[in-house]
Amino acid sequence: IEPEQYFLSPTPHVPNSSLPFLVYRGETTRDMKRHIEANKWMKGGQWKTYKIPNFHTNTHECYAALSGKTLYEVGKSHIDDEADSQGGKNWSK
């Protein structure tokens, strides 16, 4: 499955990355686990998401919804505008 790719511009409060935010849809739990393991992404456990903006300068994070649905907002803080100065969206859901 080819992932959806979203490039998130920096905001005044969240620097974001030059690398894309990837979304894989339609994979089974088994396929998703195999994909994570094949990329040697460390399984660090299962945690709740942060309710405040956070950013890592030297790593990435992988979130997988293995059943049910989720809504996860990335790319901006709660005090950033919805759009950048050119009218582009500051975030992805």
Domain housing 61: 1-93
DSSP at 81: -
Number of domains in the chain: 1
Whether 75 and 7 have beta carbons less than 8 Å apart is answered as: no
Write the CB contacts of 3 (distance below 8 Å, at least 6 apart in sequence).
Answer: 22, 23, 24
CA distances, 73 to each of 2, 51, 54, 82 (Å): 21, 10, 12, 12
User: What is the per-residue pLDDT for 26?
Assistant: 83
User: What is the per-residue pLDDT for 1?
Assistant: 74
- This prediction's pTM: 0.65
Question: pLDDT tens digit string along 13-60?
Answer: 888 888 888 888 888 888 888 888 888 876 666 666 667 766 766 777
CA distances, 22 to each of 5, 6, 12, 63, 86 (Å): 5, 7, 22, 10, 23
